């Protein structure tokens, strides 16, 4: 096992211990944190798993633990698709496991509100206030038979819609005009308990801060980062609204994608998502079930030793971005299987944002496959078809490995006249494209015009690829705790400082080779100073992108920025907060290791 994989296993093991300890600690005191409970006779049968959460408007810790516990309960089946957890299909869930109960309490109110969450879609289908239960119009037919049957003395005769358009109409305001945040959540619960138990504005706050935050890491981060500001409330921006409106559509594209290229791009804010390595998908925690997994796809299997280390509660952090799949053999019916309208067709972009093409567009057998500048015109010759059998095809011929040893060249070849093992490829969730037979990775040793080769997988930026048709630059601000952004000092150092709009030294460009580059120095890459896990001296700095490619490959995963080789994450050093230093450190779960991408429009 390579050193990067060994470190990854250690990291995942430590994360498992950390998350479990956090959850257990959180269950000790229900006044500030959460408890895991079973629905008792007060709330009726069946005995649904549940969570109790007391809103603390002064700290995001209890909120964060509540979201983590709900995610754990929702992902107990351990099924993933293209590296993203997927919820169960509705007919596969028995009534006894269909719901999770979430009781939200606010200090000073006479009681809390208990919400019923559908495990197949994270929808809130109904809730209990005192002795009255309320159901939304979209609740499943049997919800009234199953939920709050003992505790409720009466059921509200009206069923309001939980559809966003209807809720906005009833609230008299769009989502973008309704503040969110911990104070807003507390106010919503007070309103439901004391004055207006069917208040649409309160429904909008609860649904977004619970259901949407569970679905998307990015939305949870909005709440967590706002909680530390002087004003802990925020208004949803266009990107957040797009995320909420497109959860089902994104789920479908992920589930029907081959080699991670979407059949239909989806615009989220200022980003166009057309593959599973996009920032949108990195900020997504759960998918809605849309169709059953194809019987064969291009996702790379994981080593059995990793599988054993990953099974268990609280291990979701970082898991899906390491090129891993822990899907159990799916039980599926042919009519439920994802239907591919056509093999996906896209560019393959890699080192320095260059595209893969056949040299000179000469498709004679054994002609080299090279990197070249991505073409805005005559780009059809840079498009590749990703087939479900593992072949990658351009103009009827296959991307082929000339051998099974390191430094073997990559060529174009007639698919049927070369050994089958030469033309079968696998793409990992982290963007490594490997020959199935040898396990060697597609490698760009040099830049434009040079032939691609196979090399041992060392998690370097020279081995990172994206199947995409988006060739326009992706520029972002990288925002951390207390509204501080990562900035480039003009030399080789990076720090954090207060975020400033349109400040060029806080703008970073995300490349398809998984590098992060300041727009003022596009030949410079964000890098580790060393792979040594030193608590104080492993700084984050800038280095030339041609050197030490393992130091430059970063994965955005559930709020963290992780170096794929070392499994260390970018950490704002709290030992020297005044200086704003950045270091690489093992994942600990603090907000000083959580970062949000703000796209430059």
Tens digits of residue pLDDT in 194-241: 999 999 999 999 999 999 999 999 999 999 989 988 789 999 999 999
Ranges assigned E (strand) in 342-430:
344-349, 355-358, 367-372, 384-386, 392-394, 397-401, 410-413, 425-427
Task: Spell 254-284 as b/e; 16+ CB within 10 A means b.
Answer: bbbbbbbbbbebbebbebbbbbbbbbbbbbb
Asked if residue 514 and residue 395 are part of one domain, the reply reads no
Q: Is 239 a catalytic residue?
A: no
Mean pLDDT on 521-534: 84
Give the CA angle between residues 75, 81, 84 to the nearest 5°.
60
Out of 310-319, 433-442, 543-552, 589-598, pick the least confident. 310-319
Looking at the whole model, is its pTM more than 0.85? no
Q: Look at residue 253 and tell me if it is in a domain.
A: no
Cα–Cα distance measured from residue 416 to residue 184, given in angstroms and rounded to the nearest whole number? 63
The per-residue pLDDT for 306 is: 29
Cα–Cα distance measured from residue 56 to residue 278, given in angstroms and rounded to the nearest whole number? 33
Asked if residue 97 and residue 130 are part of one domain, the reply reads yes
Q: Is 500 a catalytic residue?
A: no
The per-residue pLDDT for 122 is: 98
Task: Spell 196-229 as b/e; 16+ CB within 10 A means b.
Answer: ebebbbbbbbbbbbbbbbbbbbbbbbbbbbbbee
Q: Look at residue 249 and tell me if it is in a domain.
A: no
The per-residue pLDDT for 342 is: 56
Mean pLDDT on 307-335: 34
**Residue pair 100/72 in contact by the 8 Å Cβ criterion:** no
The per-residue pLDDT for 273 is: 92
Q: Look at residue 332 and tell me if it is in a domain.
A: no
Q: Look at residue 574 and tell me if it is in a domain.
A: yes
Ranges assigned E (strand) in 74-145:
80-81, 84-85, 99-105, 113-118, 124-129, 132-135
Asked if residue 481 and residue 450 are part of one domain, the reply reads no
Question: For 504, what's the count of Cα atoms within 13 Å in the CB-facing half-sphere?
Answer: 5
For residue 321, report the phi and psi dihedrals to the nearest 5 degrees: -105, 15
Domain C-terminal end among 244, 265, 295: 244
Asked if residue 479 and residue 421 are part of one domain, the reply reads no
Q: Look at residue 83 and tell me if it is in a domain.
A: yes
Domain C-terminal end among 197, 217, 244: 244
Residue 46: cis peptide before it, omega within 30 degrees of 0? yes
Asked if residue 189 and residue 55 are part of one domain, the reply reads yes
| Residue tagged active-site, from 39, 72, 212, 572 | 212
DSSP string computed for 389-412: TS-EEETTEEEEES-SSTT-BEEE
The per-residue pLDDT for 59 is: 86
The per-residue pLDDT for 350 is: 96
Domain C-terminal end among 225, 244, 263: 244
Q: Look at residue 173 and tell me if it is in a domain.
A: yes
CA neighbor of 273 nearest in space, from 443, 510, 101: 510
Out of 335-339, 344-348, 477-481, 499-503, pick the least confident. 335-339
**Any bridge partners for residue 391, and if so which?**
none
pLDDT (tens digit per residue) in 296-306: 443 333 332 22
Q: Is 212 a catalytic residue?
A: yes
CA neighbor of 384 nearest in space, from 439, 420, 437, 345: 345
The per-residue pLDDT for 20 is: 36
Asked if residue 127 and residue 12 are part of one domain, the reply reads yes
- Identify the residue whose tokens are 């972002």: 476
Work out the burial of residue 354: count CB atoms within 10 Å of its CB; fewer than 13 is exposed, 13-18 middle, 19 or more buried.
buried
Instruction: State whether the Cα torsion 54-56-61-64 is positive or negative.
Output: positive
Asked if residue 103 and residue 154 are part of one domain, the reply reads yes
Asked if residue 367 and residue 499 are part of one domain, the reply reads no
| Residue tagged active-site, from 215, 387, 424, 517 | 215
Asked if residue 136 and residue 13 are part of one domain, the reply reads yes
**Residue pair 477/506 in contact by the 8 Å Cβ criterion:** yes
**Residue pair 250/333 in contact by the 8 Å Cβ criterion:** no
- Count: domains in the chain: 3
> Residue 18 sits in a domain of what CATH number?
3.40.420.10
Q: Is 487 a catalytic residue?
A: no
Mean pLDDT on 575-600: 86
Q: Look at residue 125 and tell me if it is in a domain.
A: yes
| Residue tagged active-site, from 77, 89, 159, 164 | 164
| Residue tagged active-site, from 53, 80, 99, 123 | 123
The per-residue pLDDT for 347 is: 94
Given a cut of 70, is residue 578 above it in pLDDT? no
CA neighbor of 198 nearest in space, from 111, 134, 147, 128: 134
Given a cut of 50, is residue 182 above it in pLDDT? yes
10 Å Cβ neighbour count for 532? 11
Q: Which two tokens stand for residue 428?
A: 């990992």
Instruction: State whether the Cα torsion 318-119-226-597 is positive or negative.
Output: positive
> Residue 546 sits in a domain of what CATH number?
2.80.10.50
The per-residue pLDDT for 408 is: 97
10 Å Cβ neighbour count for 25? 11
Mean pLDDT on 494-510: 94
Cα–Cα distance measured from residue 130 to residue 71, given in angstroms and rounded to the nearest whole number? 27
**Residue pair 470/464 in contact by the 8 Å Cβ criterion:** no
Q: What does R_g of the chain's alpha carbons equal in angstroms?
A: 25
Q: Which two tokens stand for residue 273?
A: 């998502």
The per-residue pLDDT for 282 is: 86
Ranges assigned E (strand) in 430-577:
433-435, 441-443, 453-455, 466-468, 474-479, 484-488, 494-498, 508-510, 516-518, 524-528, 540-544, 554-557, 560-563, 569-572
Given a cut of 70, is residue 185 above it in pLDDT? yes
Q: Across the chain, what does the average pLDDT equal?
A: 84
Mean pLDDT on 138-164: 91
Mean pLDDT on 89-108: 94
Asked if residue 162 and residue 191 are part of one domain, the reply reads yes
How many H-runs (helices) and E-runs (strands) does the chain carry?
A: 12, 35
The per-residue pLDDT for 577 is: 58
Residue 380 makes CB contacts below 8 A (sequence gap 6+) with: none
Given a cut of 50, is residue 269 above it in pLDDT? yes
Asked if residue 495 and residue 406 are part of one domain, the reply reads no
Given a cut of 80, is residue 18 above it in pLDDT? no
The per-residue pLDDT for 502 is: 87
Work out the burial of residue 475: count CB atoms within 10 Å of its CB; fewer than 13 is exposed, 13-18 middle, 19 or more buried.
middle
Name the residue range of residue 364's domain: 344-468
pLDDT (tens digit per residue) in 343-402: 678 999 999 999 999 999 999 999 999 999 999 877 888 999 998 889 999 999 999 999
Percent of the chain whose pLDDT exceeds 90: 64
Q: What is the end-to-end Cα distance of the chain in Å, rounded?
A: 42
Among 33-42, 71-80, 356-365, 537-546, which range has the highest average pLDDT? 356-365
Cα–Cα distance measured from residue 457 to residue 73, given in angstroms and rounded to the nearest whole number? 35
The per-residue pLDDT for 340 is: 56
- pLDDT category at 557 given cuts 50, 70, 90 is confident
- Identify the residue whose tokens are 């994450």: 569
**Any bridge partners for residue 474, and if so which?**
510
Q: Look at residue 394 and tell me if it is in a domain.
A: yes
Q: Which two tokens stand for residue 324?
A: 């891993």
Asked if residue 574 and residue 463 are part of one domain, the reply reads no
């Amino acid at each position: 096992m390579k050193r990067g994989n060994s470190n990854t296993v250690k990291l995942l093991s430590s994360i498992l211990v950390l998350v479990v300890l956090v959850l257990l600690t959180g269950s000790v005191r229900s006044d500030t944190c959460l408890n895991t409970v079973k629905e008792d006779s007060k709330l009726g049968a069946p005995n649904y798993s549940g969570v109790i959460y007391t809103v603390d408007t002064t700290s995001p810790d209890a909120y964060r633990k509540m979201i983590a516990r709900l995610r754990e309960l929702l992902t107990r089946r351990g099924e993933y698709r293209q590296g993203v957890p997927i919820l169960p299909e509705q007919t596969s869930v028995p009534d006894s496991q269909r719901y999770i109960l979430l009781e939200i309490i606010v200090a000073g109110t006479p009681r809390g509100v208990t919400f019923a969450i559908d495990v197949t879609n994270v929808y809130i289908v109904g809730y209990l206030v005192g002795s009255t239960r309320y159901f939304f119009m979209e609740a499943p037919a049997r919800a009234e038979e199953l939920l709050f049957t003992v505790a409720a003395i009466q059921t509200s005769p009206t069923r309001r819609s939980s559809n966003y358009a209807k809720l906005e109409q009833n609230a008299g305001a769009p989502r973008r005009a309704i503040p969110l945040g911990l104070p807003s959540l507390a106010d919503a619960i007070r309103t439901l308990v004391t004055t207006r138990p069917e208040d649409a504005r309160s429904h909008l706050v609860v649904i977004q801060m619970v259901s949407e935050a569970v679905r998307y890491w990015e939305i949870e981060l909005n709440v967590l980062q706002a909680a530390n500001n002087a004003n802990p409330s925020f208004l949803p921006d266009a990107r957040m609204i797009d995320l909420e409106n497109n959860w089902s559509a994104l789920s479908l594209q992920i589930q029907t994608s081959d080699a991670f290229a979407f059949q239909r791009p989806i615009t989220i804010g200022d980003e166009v998502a057309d593959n599973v390595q996009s920032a949108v998908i990195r900020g997504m925690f759960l998918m809605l079930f849309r169709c059953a997994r194809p019987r064969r796809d291009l996702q790379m299997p994981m080593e059995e030793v990793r599988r054993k280390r990953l099974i268990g509660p609280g291990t979701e952090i970082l898991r899906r971005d390491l090129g891993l799949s822990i899907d159990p053999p799916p039980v599926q019916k042919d009519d439920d299987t994802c239907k591919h309208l056509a093999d996906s067709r896209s560019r393959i972009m890699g080192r320095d944002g260059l595209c893969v093409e056949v040299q000179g567009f000469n498709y004679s057998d054994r002609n080299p496959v090279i990197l070249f500048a991505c073409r805005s015109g005559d780009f059809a010759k840079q498009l590749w078809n990703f087939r479900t059998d593992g072949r990658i095809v351009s103009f009827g011929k296959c991307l082929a490995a000339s051998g099974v040893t390191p430094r073997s060249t990559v060529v174009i070849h007639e698919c049927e006249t070369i050994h089958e093992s030469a033309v079968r490829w696998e793409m990992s969730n982290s963007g490594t494209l490997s020959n199935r037979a040898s396990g060697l990775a597609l490698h760009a040793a040099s830049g434009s015009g040079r032939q691609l080769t196979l090399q041992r997988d060392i998690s370097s930026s020279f081995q990172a690829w994206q199947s995409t048709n988006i060739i326009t630059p992706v520029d972002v601000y990288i925002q951390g705790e207390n509204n501080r952004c990562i900035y480039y000092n003009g030399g080789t150092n990076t720090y954090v400082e207060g975020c400033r709009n349109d400040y060029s030294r806080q703008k970073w460009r995300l490349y398809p080779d998984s590098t992060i580059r300041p727009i003022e120095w596009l030949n410079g890459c964000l890098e580790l100073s060393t792979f040594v896990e030193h608590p104080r001296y492993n700084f984050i700095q800038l280095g030339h992108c041609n050197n030490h490619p393992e130091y430059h490959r970063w994965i955005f995963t559930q709020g963290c920025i992780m170096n794929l080789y070392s499994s260390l994450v970018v950490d704002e050093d709290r030992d020297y907060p005044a200086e704003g230093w950045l270091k690489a450190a093992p994942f600990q779960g603090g907000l000083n290791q959580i970062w949000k991408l703000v796209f430059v429009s």
